[in-house]
């Protein structure tokens, strides 16, 4: 409860900041986009997002947090493609579309997990696409989305859960899933990103499998975004 009150206060006082992590082209290592990741500063470091995001989701505060992030994203440079994470509750918040509309023309894609899709967000997703935003399915293969998800929703890109990357060179089944997903993605006209690349060996495997895009500590850890 104290953590929650402190988070509320940090939001009110505008103390949360944005970090960014690149999504790169595997062969050139050039950044093709930057994923925006919110951070909560404290003395000597940051509260881990993996802790306060779930807490904010449990209590509904995530809607304020996501709307806060959207306002900061408004101030980011135009010459770059920004990936913004959204929680399911935010997608259903009546204030959300208005907030998103202020980002029109800016080169923003929204990342949504499989979990969000179980919650009746079809109409909002359709509106976002009509407004010109790209939609990215995050952590694919880790939740309970069926392949039907890829047919029913207007995604332009899918991020393969980092568990598959972790299995490269270890588990032949991970190779099979990554390979088959790539050919499925090609047929469906979707771009694929491999998440959680930490080693050169994993990068080499992904190139051999035909992957073009990836993200992970090997290419860049989340870093403060200057000007945010
Ligand atoms: O950056 P880190 O690995 O600590 O993130 C932990 C989790 O928090 C990830 O699942 C990430 O998608 C999520 N996350 C980071 N920033 C945001 C944000 O601005 N909004 C939402 N809804 N989730 C975020
Ligand atoms: O769920 P989502 O993909 O948005 O999660 C983003 C989180 O994943 C960030 O908090 C980031 O710190 C973390 N992350 C990014 N790259 C790597 C990686 O190479 N390995 C691991 N273990 N985590 C990563
Ligand atoms: Na994400």
Tens place of pLDDT for every residue, the chain, 228 residues?
799 999 999 999 999 999 999 999 999 999 999 999 999 999 999 998 999 999 999 999 999 999 999 999 999 999 899 999 999 999 999 999 999 999 999 999 999 998 888 778 999 999 999 999 999 999 999 887 778 889 999 999 999 999 999 999 999 999 999 999 999 999 999 999 999 999 999 999 999 999 999 999 999 999 999 755
How far away, in angstroms, is 52 Cα from ligand 3 center? 15
Collapsed DSSP state (helix, strand, coil) of residue 38: strand
Question: In this prediction, does ipTM exceed 0.90?
Answer: yes
pLDDT of residue 185: 96
Atom of ligand 1 nearest to the CA of 56: 22
**What spatial distance separates the first Cα and last Cα of the chain, rounded to whole Å?**
28
pLDDT of residue 228: 52
How far away, in angstroms, is 29 Cα from ligand 2 center? 18
- In CATH, the number for domain 2-224 is 3.20.20.450
pLDDT of residue 147: 86
Ligand 1 contacts CB of residue 49 (under 6 A): yes
196 within 8 A of 178, measured Cβ to Cβ: no
112 within 8 A of 86, measured Cβ to Cβ: yes
Helices (H), the chain: 2-12, 49-59, 62-74, 88-91, 96-101, 114-117, 122-130, 148-152, 162-166, 172-188, 200-209
- Residues whose beta carbon lies within 6 Å of some atom of ligand 2: 21, 37, 49, 85, 138-139, 162, 195-198, 215-217, 222
How is the chain split into domains, by residue range? Answer: 2-224
Determine if residue 108 is left, alpha or beta; phi over 0 gives left, psi from -120 to 50 gives alpha, anything else beta: beta
Ligand 1 contacts CB of residue 38 (under 6 A): yes
How far away, in angstroms, is 203 Cα from ligand 3 center? 20
């Amino acid at each position: 409860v104290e953590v929650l009150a402190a988070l509320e206060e940090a939001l009110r006082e505008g103390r949360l900041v944005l970090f960014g992590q690149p999504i790169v082209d595997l062969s050139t290592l050039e950044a093709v986009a930057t994923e925006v990741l919110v951070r909560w500063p404290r003395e000597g470091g940051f509260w881990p997002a993996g802790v306060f995001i779930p807490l904010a989701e449990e209590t509904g505060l995530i809607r304020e947090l996501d709307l806060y992030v959207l306002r900061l994203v408004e101030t980011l440079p135009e010459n770059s493609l920004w990936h913004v994470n959204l929680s399911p509750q935010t997608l259903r918040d009546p204030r959300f579309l208005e907030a998103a509309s202020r980002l029109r023309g800016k080169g923003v894609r929204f990342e949504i997990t499989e979990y969000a899709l179980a919650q009746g967000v079809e109409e909002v997703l359709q509106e976002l696409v009509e407004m010109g935003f790209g939609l990215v399915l995050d952590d694919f293969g880790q939740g309970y989305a069926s392949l039907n998800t890829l047919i029913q929703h207007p995604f332009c890109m899918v991020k393969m859960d980092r568990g598959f990357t972790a299995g490269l060179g270890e588990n032949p089944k991970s190779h099979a899933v990554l390979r088959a997903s790539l050919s499925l993605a090609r047929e469906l006209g979707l771009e694929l990103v491999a998440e959680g690349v930490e080693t050169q060996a994993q990068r080499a495997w992904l190139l051999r499998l035909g992957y073009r895009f990836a993200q992970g500590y090997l290419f860049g850890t989340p870093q403060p975004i200057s000007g945010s």
